[in-house]
Amino acid sequence: MESNPKQRPKVLCIGGPTASGKSNMAFRVAAHFGGEIINFDSRQIYKDFPLITDQPQREYTEKIPHWLYGFLDFYEQIDAASFERKAGAIIADISSRSKLPILVGGTGLYLYSILYGLDPIPEVPLAKRQEVLQEWNQEGPEFMYMRLQEIDPEYASKIHPNDKQRITRALEVYKASGKPFSKWHQKSGEENSKYDTLKIGIWMDVPSLTASLEQRIEYMLQNGAVEEVRHAWEKYPREDAPGWSGIGCYEVLQYVLGRWTVEEAKKKWLRRTKKYAKRQLTWFKKEHDIQWISCSDKGNAEELISRWVTDG
């Protein structure tokens, strides 16, 4: 792919719900059009859960460069603004080598921050942070999650009730600014992307999505998901670590700790994943410039991409 310094860099975006085949499509496109793949999924950033978060396997990463997968320990955290800075530097590097940057994932906020940037969230005074943490320790996660539901139901619906890091972050920002956390992430009326983008969304109907999710959960359990969680728990046995809030990680941990049977873990894992997939579809359906491709008819994507790559 030839680059023109007078034009904005071309960036291909492939989004959609979990288990829709985004990674496979990105790999085929990268191989065909000379691209490199950049993750924008908030769970695939954790190095300790490559199987449960369905990160690309070595047979793919050895052939095509993959960026921003498995770079963070599961007890660490990163926000959308920090992620955007990392992705922006990688996009610039790929473009400078006349390769096509391909963003692939399911975290809409990360994609939005990469393409358009975010309003900077105000710094929270230390006293406010300590106040929220003290409340958490005194009242517990259920009470704090209910408080978040009251002041910011939109953001509360997107996170797990035991996600200490995200709940306390949202509450402390509200205390400091008087503005719900979700309002800092709202899209503005004027959207000017830093890049020349083509957005492709992979669409799946609910029955197909459910079947795909069930198959993936069974595959993960049969191929080491329990062992992956046990190893991580031995490494860092604290349930308030950001990585444990991830879908699948939390459910398998409850089984490992003897709180749920494997069937209970599977059932709740599937239910939570379906809810998450629906939220992903809701986010991407709001994108006015996305080109939807059926999961059973991905061949049309290459024609769209070919026209876009050669245009201009």
Side-chain half-sphere of 132: how many Cα atoms within 13 Å? 22
Are 199 and 286 in a shared domain? yes
Please tell me the total count of domains within the chain: 2
Same structural domain, 142 and 277: no
284 located within any domain: yes
Condensed to tens digits (0 to 9), the pLDDT of residues 82-129 reads: 899 999 999 999 999 999 999 999 999 899 999 998 777 778 898 998
Q: Report which secondary-structure segment, H or E, holds 38.
A: strand 35-39
Residues 132 and 278 occupy one common structural domain: no
**Per-residue pLDDT tens for 23-34?**
999 999 999 999
Q: What is the pLDDT of residue 3?
A: 47
Calculate Rg over the CA atoms of the chain: 20
In a shared domain, residues 199 and 300: yes
Are 162 and 34 in the same domain? no
- Answer for the pair 105, 69: CB distance below 8 angstroms, yes or no: no
Query: Can you give the pLDDT at residue 13?
Result: 97
**Given this model, what pLDDT does residue 298 score?**
64
In a domain, 4, yes or no: no
pLDDT at 152: 92
Residues of the chain with pLDDT under 70: 1-6, 186-191, 296, 298-299, 312
**pLDDT given for residue 189 in this prediction:** 45
**Domain of 166: which CATH number?**
1.10.20.140
pTM of the model: 0.84
Q: Which residues pair with 10 in a beta bridge?
A: 196
Both 96 and 133 in one domain: the answer is: no
**Same-domain status, 247 and 136:** no
Q: How many CA atoms lie within 13 A of 206 on its CB side?
A: 6
Bridge partners of 13, per DSSP, are 103, 199
Looking at the DSSP assignment, which residues form a beta bridge with residue 294?
A: 203
Residue 5 covered by a domain: no
Domain boundary residue, one of 185, 203, 231: 185
Residue partners of 28: CB distance under 8 A and separation at least 6: 302
Residue 284 domain boundaries: 10-119+195-310
Return the pLDDT at 283.
Answer: 86
Same domain assignment for residues 207 and 172: no
Q: List the alpha helices (DSSP H) in the chain.
A: 22-33, 58-61, 80-96, 108-116, 126-139, 141-151, 153-156, 164-177, 206-222, 225-235, 249-256, 262-285, 299-310
Residue 164: inside a domain, yes or no? Answer: yes
- 228: domain CATH number is 3.40.50.300
> Residue 301 domain-assigned?
yes
